[in-house]
């Protein structure tokens, strides 16, 4: 249950920073400092205490068994004196200090509860029209701020223990290193609503007409606040998380496919080779191999299980704020990737997946996490395993601005090429020795919006780089490249699993590509509005309106010219040069 400030007759101190009421649906997003759920300290730090208590009880199980059920303990013959054992429990028993011990235990529990309460009181957040801020700490205060115009996405995580209490945590993904802001914890319903508010505010919707009458706004906020408090109290009583409506996924991954994709993988080949080597080594008398590789097998098995559990309950669906991806069986993670936050995509297919027609899709984006964060990998997989049709559906969600005619070429030639009449520029035959297996497939294709890099035969790769997000583009040429008159192309994007490079490109084609990418990047960045995705439709409507106005003006000019020509006796009397119409340009 949060503790938002009730609006009264007095003016709100930071009303100037309050978000427009039309852009928020929760009283937690009203620009005031709010508190997390009361169980937040327990979930953030109290679980460690529970583990410690469990370890203590496990170590004292024989003693507790002898005290409570002495007839079940055959070895329990009485207590040793505390002088010989130096055991504090024996000391308490020998001096009959049960009441003192109970008081001490309850005192420690009271101090912990008081510490949790103070921690909860000092852990607050607020959402203004410009930032998401979090303050925490008792002795050492910290304050983190995520500017809304730099938000890369909002992740909603529901760990297994938190889901039992109907809670979830939000992670506002920033643009810098270690710049994420976490709201731990809110009720699942409140977390979903606040997430939508943050994305709506970050989308660029700052409406001037959002101001309403003070009485109407106050009444709606009081009503919403009452509903929120009632929902929180109900959640504390009922426990399990409330159902949250999720959009229907455009991709369905069967559980059998997820399990089979992990079994049929390069790691399986490594395991088989290792097992054969161990069997041969043990048969020759090297028994230490069996013990030496047991930890490796245990680690690999744990990785397989965690990967499979993380891929279960996968769904991806379009929303007004971008693609919504949900995955995870025990810990469920929901992340919304807004348009304009995707810096690179890569479609891959290992050779063992080829008979089944399976592919995987990963992306590069600003994660706001530190380089040492081991959980970064789970936020880069867009599609763990899917068919070619699934890949096309996912790519359409990730790049909604690509023209419809381009998708057939991207999927057909980019994933399955080279084909007859292939539109990719591939490695020349004179440089086949640089890529002896894949030189016919190795190539690039540049469109108005994307740079496509295709490579690999054993491990097929297709890198899709939006020109509007490209940081820089470089050509490299070593001594062997100069001899074969080729060069290597490197596209620089944000750090991630996507490798944006292509070797053995014809030198003249590479120089032309460098100039075309430079011009295309400037043009795409100038016309791109996806970083303010709320204005994409507005910009498109404005462009359509401008085109209609130009067409009407052109028709008016044509009508006047025809009238002038008729009055002067013929069409050749007046020759006014007009720009060619779009339908007249081939």
Q: Do 543 and 518 fall within a single domain?
A: no
- For the entire predicted model, the pTM comes to 0.70
Token pair for 37 = 């759920």
* Number of domains comprising the chain: 4
Tell me the C-alpha distance between 485 and 74, whole Å.
Answer: 86
Report if residue 268 sits inside a domain. Answer: yes
- From first to last of the 586 residues of the chain, give the pLDDT tens digit: 444 433 333 334 455 567 777 677 778 888 888 888 888 887 876 666 666 766 666 666 666 666 555 555 554 444 444 444 556 666 776 777 778 878 888 888 888 888 888 888 888 888 888 888 888 888 888 888 888 877 888 888 888 888 888 888 888 887 766 678 888 888 888 888 888 888 888 776 543 333 343 444 444 444 444 544 444 444 444 444 444 566 788 888 899 999 899 888 887 887 788 778 878 877 887 777 777 677 777 777 787 888 888 888 888 888 877 888 888 888 888 888 877 788 999 999 999 999 999 999 999 887 766 555 555 456 788 899 999 999 999 999 888 888 888 888 888 899 998 888 889 999 999 999 999 999 999 999 999 889 999 999 999 999 999 998 898 999 999 999 999 999 999 999 988 889 899 999 999 999 999 999 999 999 988 887 766 655 444 444 444 455 455 555 555 545 555 444 444 444 333 333 333 333 333 3
CA distances from 127 to 3, 28, 183 (A): 14, 8, 11
Q: Do 285 and 410 fall within a single domain?
A: no
Report if residue 334 sits inside a domain. Answer: no
Which of 295-305 are b and which e, b meaning 16 or more Cβ less than 10 Å from the residue's Cβ?
A: eeeeebeeebe
Q: Do 300 and 398 fall within a single domain?
A: no
Q: Do 295 and 409 fall within a single domain?
A: no
CA distances from 104 to 67, 236, 261, 494 (A): 20, 29, 55, 55
Strands 34-35 and 131-136 turn out to be: unpaired
Q: Which residues pair with 450 in a beta bridge?
A: 466
Q: Do 401 and 474 fall within a single domain?
A: yes
Tell me the C-alpha distance between 345 and 403, whole Å.
Answer: 17
Q: Do 508 and 554 fall within a single domain?
A: no
Single out the residue in 65, 97, 120 at which a domain terminates.
120
Report if residue 406 sits inside a domain. Answer: yes
Radius of gyration of the chain (CA): 32
Q: Which parts of 528-571 fold into alpha helices (H)?
A: 536-568
Q: Do 53 and 103 fall within a single domain?
A: yes
Q: Do 431 and 507 fall within a single domain?
A: yes
Determine the structural domain holding residue 406 and report its residue range: 346-528
DSSP letters spanning 448-473: SSEEEEEE-SSSEEEEEEEGGG--EE
Report if residue 28 sits inside a domain. Answer: no
Q: Do 547 and 510 fall within a single domain?
A: no
Single out the residue in 528, 552, 570 at which a domain terminates.
528
Report if residue 565 sits inside a domain. Answer: yes
Single out the residue in 104, 120, 136 at which a domain terminates.
120
Element (H, E) at 337: strand 332-337
Report if residue 330 sits inside a domain. Answer: no
Token pair for 100 = 């003192």
Report if residue 358 sits inside a domain. Answer: yes
């Amino acid at each position: 249950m949060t503790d938002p400030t009730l609006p009264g007759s007095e003016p709100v101190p930071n009303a100037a920073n309050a978000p427009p009421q039309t852009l928020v649906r929760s009283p937690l997003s009203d620009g005031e400092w709010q508190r997390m759920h009361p169980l937040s300290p327990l979930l953030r730090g109290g679980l460690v205490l529970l583990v410690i208590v469990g370890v203590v009880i496990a170590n004292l199980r024989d003693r507790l068994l002898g005290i409570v059920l002495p007839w079940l303990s055959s070895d329990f013959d009485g207590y040793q004196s505390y002088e010989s054992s130096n055991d504090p429990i024996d000391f308490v028993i020998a001096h009959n200090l049960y009441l003192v011990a109970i008081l001490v235990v309850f005192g420690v529990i009271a101090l912990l509860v008081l510490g949790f309460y103070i921690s909860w009181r000092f852990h607050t957040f607020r959402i203004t029209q410009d930032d998401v801020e979090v303050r925490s700490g008792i002795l050492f205060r910290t304050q983190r701020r995520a500017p809304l115009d730099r938000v890369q996405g909002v992740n909603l995580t529901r760990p297994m223990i938190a889901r039992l209490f109907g809670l979830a945590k939000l992670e506002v993904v920033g643009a810098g290193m270690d710049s994420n802001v976490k709201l731990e914890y809110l009720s699942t319903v409140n977390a979903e609503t606040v997430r939508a508010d943050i994305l709506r505010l970050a989308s660029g919707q700052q409406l001037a007409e959002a101001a309403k009458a003070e009485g109407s706004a106050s009444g709606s906020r009081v009503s919403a606040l009452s509903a929120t408090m009632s929902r929180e109290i109900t959640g504390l009583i009922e426990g399990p998380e409330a159902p949250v409506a999720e959009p229907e996924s455009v991709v369905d991954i069967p559980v059998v496919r997820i399990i089979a994709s992990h079994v049929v993988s390069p790691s399986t080949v490594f395991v088989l080779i290792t097992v054969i080597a161990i069997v041969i080594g043990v048969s020759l008398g090297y028994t230490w191999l069996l013990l030496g590789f047991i930890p490796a097998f245990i680690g690999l098995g744990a990785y397989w299980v965690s990967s499979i559990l993380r891929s279960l309950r996968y769904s991806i669906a379009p929303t007004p704020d971008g693609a919504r991806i949900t995955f995870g069986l025990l810990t469920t993670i929901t992340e919304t990737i807004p348009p304009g936050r995707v810096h690179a995509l890569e479609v891959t297919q290992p050779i063992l997946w080829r008979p089944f027609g399976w592919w995987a899709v990963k992306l590069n984006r600003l994660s706001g996490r530190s380089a040492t964060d081991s959980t970064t990998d789970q936020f880069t997989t867009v599609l763990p395993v899917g068919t070619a049709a699934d890949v096309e559906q996912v790519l359409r969600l990730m790049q909604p601005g690509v023209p419809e005619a381009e998708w057939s070429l991207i999927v057909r030639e980019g994933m399955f090429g080279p084909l007859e009449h292939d539109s990719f520029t591939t490695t020349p035959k004179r440089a086949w020795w640089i890529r002896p297996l894949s030189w016919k497939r190795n190539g690039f294709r540049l469109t108005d919006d994307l740079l496509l890099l295709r490579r690999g035969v054993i491990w097929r790769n297709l890198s899709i780089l939006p020109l509007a997000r490209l940081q820089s583009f470089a050509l490299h040429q070593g001594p062997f490249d100069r001899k074969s008159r080729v060069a290597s192309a490197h596209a620089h994007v944000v750090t991630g699993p996507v490798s944006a490079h292509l070797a053995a490109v014809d030198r003249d084609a590479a120089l032309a590509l460098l100039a075309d990418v430079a011009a295309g990047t400037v043009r795409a960045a100038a016309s791109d509005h996806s970083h303010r995705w709320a204005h994409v439709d507005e910009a498109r409507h404005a462009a359509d309106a401008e085109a209609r106005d130009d067409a009407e003006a052109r028709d008016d000019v044509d009508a006047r010219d025809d009238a002038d020509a008729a009055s002067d006796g013929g069409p050749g009397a007046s020759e006014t040069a007009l720009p060619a119409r779009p339908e007249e340009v081939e």
